[in-house]
Amino acid sequence: MNPIGAEPYIVLSMVLFLLGALGVLMRRNAILVFMSVELMLNSANLALVAFAREWGQVNGHVFVFFVMTVAAAEVAVGLALIVNIFRERQSINIDDLQQMQG
């Protein structure tokens, strides 16, 4: 049996999540913002798997499955948007995208 409990994994996933959040706030490159979001989703998955092991329930794994599916769909649509935006204005700096600012 694995001698490590769930807590170290939770702490690790927390650190990764905060790093991802930091990336979303700090980076202005839209692709990097997207990658940071992926990092956050992944850290959430890690927490889910850790808890699933701790509780002996496979449901956590199933949720990880759904998160992965949603992440895949999100990345596909998001990257298509980024490509279109880049075609239109030759830039993917998210500070340049202000048309919808009130």
Partner 1 sequence: MEWLFLAVSFVAVLAAGMMLTRQNAVHSALFLIVNFGCVAFLYLMLDAPFLAMVQVTVYTGAIMVLFLFVIMLLGAETTTDTSGRMRWLGLAGSAVAIILLLIFAFPIASDMLADEMAAPQDTRAQLRVINAIPGGDAEEFTVMEMGFAMPLAGTVSASVALDAVDESMADSRIDSVVYSDSREAIRGYTELEAGAYTVAVGVDDGSYVSGPVFTKDLVLPPDSAFSVVVFENEEGLVDVTLLADDISAPDVGTMRLTVFNAVTDRQVSLVNVGQYTTRRTLCDDASCASLIPHRRLIDQLPAGDHTSIALDEGTYNLAFVDQDQNILRTLADYKAERGLIETRVLVREPGVPGSQPSYRAAVFTALGLPAFGSPESVGQVLFIEYVLPVMLVGMLLLVALIGVIVLARPDALAQAERRRINRRRRVNRPLVSVISQQTGADVLSGEYMAKLTGGPDDGSDQ
Check if the beta carbon of residue 85 is closer than 8 Å to that of residue 30: yes
The DSSP H or E segment spanning 63 is helix 59-89
- Under the binding rule (CB under 8 A), the answer on residue 97 touching partner 1 is no
CB of 101 to partner 1, least distance (A): 14
CB of 33 to partner 1, least distance (A): 11
The rounded distance, in Å, linking the Cα atoms of 94 and 68 is 25
For 14-49, letters b (16+ CB in 10 Å) and e give: eebbeebeebbeebeebeebbebbebbbbbbbbbbb
Binder of partner 1 out of 37, 50, 89, 99 (CB under 8 A): 50
Residue closer to partner 1, measured from CB, 1 or 100: 1
Query: What residues from 63 to 92 belong to the interface with partner 1 (CB under 8 A)?
Result: 64-66, 68-77, 79-84, 86-87, 91-92
- Under the binding rule (CB under 8 A), the answer on residue 31 touching partner 1 is yes
Residue closer to partner 1, measured from CB, 3 or 102: 3
